[in-house]
Amino acid sequence: MTLTALNTAATPTHSFPIRVYYEDTDAGGIVYYANYLKFAERARTEMLRDAGFHHTAMMAGDGIMMAVRRVSAEYLKPARLDDALDVTTSVKGLGAATIELDQSIQRGGQELCRVAVTIACVGRDGRPARLPATLRQALSTQIQS
C-alpha cells in the first residue's frame, strides 16, 4: 500500500483531547515534564491519522518513517492529575524531508506548554527521505504563518 490518502476537510489547526492520569504525574500530582512530549507525540500522530496518513501504512507501503529531529518545549504552567487538556498542532513549514510543527498544550484555553518540533522523514535504512507527494500536498494546505 502506498500513500494516496488526502483529507481535504482537514482544518489548519488540529486539536486532540487528553486526560491527565495518575501515571502521568509525579508524587505531587503534577505532570512530569517529559510527559508533555508524549502528549505532543500522540497529537501529531492523530493529526496525520486524521489526514489519512497512518504510520503503519507509510512504513509498509513506502518504507517511510517519521522521526523527531529537533524539539524544544517551554513550560508555562503545570498540568495536574485529572486535568482535561487539549493539544493543538499547526504546520509551520515543510522542507524536502522535514515537517515543522508548533504545538500548544492547554487546559480550559490557558496555555500550559509550547512545543516546537521538526519531524524528519526517513527511509528503512534510517537515511533522510523526501516527504511523499501526497503527504506534502495534504500538509501544504495547512501551513500557518
The residues that are catalytic are 26
Work out the end-to-end distance of the chain between its first and last CA atoms, rounded to an integer number of angstroms: 33
Cell 500522540 sits on residue: 42
- Cα 75 from Cα 87, distance rounded (Å): 14
Closest CA to 138 of 6, 1, 2: 6
- Cα 29 from Cα 35, distance rounded (Å): 13
Cell of 143: 501551513
